[in-house]
C-alpha cells in the first residue's frame, strides 16, 4: 500500500481513537497527572541545579549527571502513567469501564521493568546528547540515525511491559521491535493524526485569544486562554497516541480488532 493509503489508514486510527476517548474520558487523566508530576520534578531539579550553576559550568561530568537524572525521572514518570493508560485502554477494548486507580495498580505491578527501561533510556539519551554536542558533523548525523533507530526499536516497550507482565526486560525490546515491523506504516504515520488534532485545538485557542485581546486589550486573559488550549491540545495528543499504540499492539499480538475501530483495515497492516 502506498503512502496515501497508509496516511488514510493513520487518520482512520485517529478518528476511531477519538471515539474510544469520548466513551472513556478517564483515559485523559493519565497524561494529565504525568505532566503535572513531570513539571513539579523539573521545577525542583532546576531549582537545585540553579544553586550548583558554578559547579555545573566548571565540571562537564556534573552537568551530564544532572542531565541523566532529568532523563531518568521524567522517563519513568512518563512510562509509568503511559503504562496505566495502555492498560486501561486495553480494558476499554474489552468493554470494561476505565478506572484510574486500576491503571496505576497495573503500572505499579511492573514498576521494576519500567525503572530498568528508564535507566537504559536515560543512558542512551545522555550518550546521544554527548554525540550531538560534538563538533563532528558525521558524529551528529550518526546520533540522529541512532536516535531514530532507537525510537523504532522501543516504540512498543511500554505496552509490552504492562500487557505482557511475564516478559523479561530483554524480550521487551525484541517484542517491541518485532511488533513495529509488523505495523510499521501505521506506527509511524498513525502518530501524525494526534499532532494534527493538537494543532487544530491550539489554533482555535489562539484565534479565540486574539479575538479577546483585540476586543478587551487584556493580555492576561488572552494568555490564559492560549495556555488552557495548549494544555488541552497536549493532553488530547498524548491520550490519542496511547490509544492508537495500544490498538496496534493488541491487533499485532492478539489478532483482535477493537470494536470502536470499524474504520480501520487492520488486516492490511503490514501490506
pLDDT in tens, 101-145: 999 999 999 999 999 999 999 999 999 988 888 778 888 888 899
**Per-residue confidence (pLDDT) for residue 15, from 0 to 100:** 86
Q: In which domain, by residue range, is 155 found?
A: 3-268
98-107: long-range contacts at Cβ-Cβ below 8 A with a sequence spacing of 24 or more? 98/24, 98/26, 98/27, 99/26, 100/26, 100/29, 100/30, 103/30, 106/162, 107/80, 107/81, 107/83, 107/162
What is the pLDDT averaged over residues 79-98?
Answer: 95
| Number of domains within the chain | 1
Query: DSSP letters along 113-151, please?
Result: HHHHHHHHHHHHHHHHHHHHTSS-HHHHHHHHHHHHHHH
* Residues above pLDDT 70, as percent of the chain: 86
Q: What is the pLDDT of residue 190?
A: 64
What pLDDT was estimated at residue 45?
82
How many whole angstroms separate alpha carbon 247 and alpha carbon 13? 9
Q: What is the pLDDT of residues 174-205, one digit of tens each?
A: 999 888 877 765 556 667 788 888 999 999 99
Helix/strand/coil for 263: coil
Q: For residue range 240-255, what is the model confidence (pLDDT) as tens digits?
A: 999 999 988 988 888 7
Amino acid at each position: 500500500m502506498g503512502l496515501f493509503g497508509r496516511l488514510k489508514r493513520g487518520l482512520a486510527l485517529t478518528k476511531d481513537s477519538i471515539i474510544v476517548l469520548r466513551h472513556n474520558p478517564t483515559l485523559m487523566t493519565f497524561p494529565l497527572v504525568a505532566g503535572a508530576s513531570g513539571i513539579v520534578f523539573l521545577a525542583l531539579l532546576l531549582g537545585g541545579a540553579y544553586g550548583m550553576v558554578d559547579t555545573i559550568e566548571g565540571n562537564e561530568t556534573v552537568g551530564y549527571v544532572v542531565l541523566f537524572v532529568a532523563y531518568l525521572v521524567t522517563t519513568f514518570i512518563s512510562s509509568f502513567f503511559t503504562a496505566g493508560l495502555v492498560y486501561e485502554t486495553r480494558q476499554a477494548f474489552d468493554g470494561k469501564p476505565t478506572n484510574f486507580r486500576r491503571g496505576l495498580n497495573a503500572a505499579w505491578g511492573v514498576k521494576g521493568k519500567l525503572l530498568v527501561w528508564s535507566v537504559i533510556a536515560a543512558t542512551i539519551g545522555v550518550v546521544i546528547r554527548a554525540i550531538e554536542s560534538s563538533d563532528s558533523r558525521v558524529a551528529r548525523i550518526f546520533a540522529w540515525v541512532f536516535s531514530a533507530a532507537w525510537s523504532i526499536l522501543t516504540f512498543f516497550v511500554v505496552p509490552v511491559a504492562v500487557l505482557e507482565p511475564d516478559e523479561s526486560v530483554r524480550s521487551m525490546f525484541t517484542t517491541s521491535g518485532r511488533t513495529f515491523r509488523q505495523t510499521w506504516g501505521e506506527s509511524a504515520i498513525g502518530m501524525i493524526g494526534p499532532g494534527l488534532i493538537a494543532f487544530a485545538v491550539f489554533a482555535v485557542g489562539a484565534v479565540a485569544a486574539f479575538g479577546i485581546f483585540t476586543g478587551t486589550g487584556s493580555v492576561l486573559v488572552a494568555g490564559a486562554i492560549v495556555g488552557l488550549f495548549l494544555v488541552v491540545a497536549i493532553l488530547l495528543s498524548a491520550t490519542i497516541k496511547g490509544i492508537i499504540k495500544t490498538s496496534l499492539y493488541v491487533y499485532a499480538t492478539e489478532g483482535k480488532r477493537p470494536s470502536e475501530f470499524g474504520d480501520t483495515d487492520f488486516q492490511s497492516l503490514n501490506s
